[in-house]
Amino acid sequence: MKIALLFFLLPVFCYSQESRIDDWAFSLKGKSGFLAAHRGTMGHLAKDRLFAGELSFAKRMRSKDWSEEYRNPYVGVTLYGSNLGNKEILGYGFGAYGFIEFPWTRSEKHVFTCKLGAGLGAVTKVYDVNKNPKNVPMSTYLNAVICLGLQGRWYIKPEHALLYSLDMTHFSNGSSKVPNLGVNMPFIGLGYQYTFKKKEHTDFKLMKFERVPFFKSWNVSLVGIVSDKQIFPTGGRRYPVYALSGMLFKQFKPKVGMEIALDIISKQSITYYREYIPKTQWDILQIGGFVGYNIPLDKFRFVIGMGAYIKDRYQPDAMFYHRVGMRYQFANGLLLNLVLKSHWAKADYVEYGVGYTFNYKGRYHAK
């Protein structure tokens, strides 16, 4: 769940070096939608039409050396509130999340974007074996809130814009406690944005990258990971997870990066998988190979990829695993890691990691 924390800090990283040419704006948006029953056991929940409200504060990035490569994205924070499709069982959801929007066009009159957002949310009702046994989506009051979608801005005047959107908003605790089916809520939205005093914009030169042979100039990192995981039955104990990842990372272009990792994972819950079989720590150890695509934004980068277990004796889950999340690389070599590990659409656990990049030299591919 706390993968949302680092995403929530994204605006802080971007705002920390404010420039006079960045456009600041706030917006109000109303949304309407429905609760998507993505599991058969949720078919009884969707009763009410969804209504949501959002208040956002953002700026359009124009001053960073990487921003022109992404057509000057919007970065900001949104306050969110809505019903969840069933007031009696699910109640209401509220949250705050950081977001980034990547424009698909260079037009200043009509800007169409892809939006990625994540943060922390709270719900008013949770699962209770006696009082609320039908609430299978939510078992914790505190959850991650994720928003993925498309959004358009039609600038009537430089300061005034109409907003329209199509998105999916999701509440979940990331499998930190069961039951945890989560809620998926498709929305359409309409809103208004006001931009504070449009600034004079300066053209930036795009970064030029050297062509470096594939096997040269890779960053070498070692990351230690801790987490925990609860397994069924509901109300059971939580089990620690320890992992070590050795990673190679290379940025090939301003918007293209790649990583290759060897993962060593000790998931203690495997000890209680088929309890009748005696197990040692070596027996439950999982070893996997991972390949990921990276989207670099200076020292901050998104990662999404897929791996396969090389050693997985008891196979409690699928052969393949997936990661989606983010990393932040400090100039002194320190590396922060916050990534959701899953098996296809089933969350496994959140990887909280701290590591070190041994040969980090900043953006040394650029010239």
pLDDT digits (tens), the chain, 367 positions? 545 555 555 555 555 444 546 789 999 999 999 999 877 778 889 899 999 999 999 999 887 777 888 889 999 999 999 999 999 999 999 999 999 999 998 888 999 999 999 999 999 999 998 999 999 899 999 999 999 999 999 999 989 999 999 999 999 887 778 787 889 999 999 999 999 866 555 555 555 666 677 778 899 999 999 998 877 766 667 899 999 999 999 988 888 899 999 999 999 999 988 888 999 999 999 999 999 999 998 888 999 999 999 999 999 999 999 999 999 999 999 999 999 899 887 778 889 999 999 988 655 443 3
Smallest CA-to-CA distance from 100 within 175, 185, 196, 9 is with 9
| CB-based burial label for 118 (10 Å; 0-12, 13-18, 19+) | buried
C-beta separation of 261 from 290 below 8 A: yes
Cα–Cα distance, 298 to 192 (Å, whole number): 31
How high is the pLDDT of residue 337? 95
Please give the model's pTM, rounded to 2 decimal places.
Answer: 0.79
How high is the pLDDT of residue 290? 99
Residue with tokens 């949720």: 42
> Any idea how long the chain is?
367
Domains in the chain, ordered, with CATH? 3-196 (2.40.160.20), 219-357 (2.40.160)
Beta-carbon count within 10 A of 358 CB: 10
Beta-carbon count within 10 A of 131 CB: 9
How high is the pLDDT of residue 279? 94
Query: Which amino acid is present at 17?
Result: Q
Token representation of residue 312 = 């997985």
Q: Tell how strand 285-297 and strand 50-60 pair up.
A: unpaired
Smallest CA-to-CA distance from 287 within 254, 305, 262 is with 262
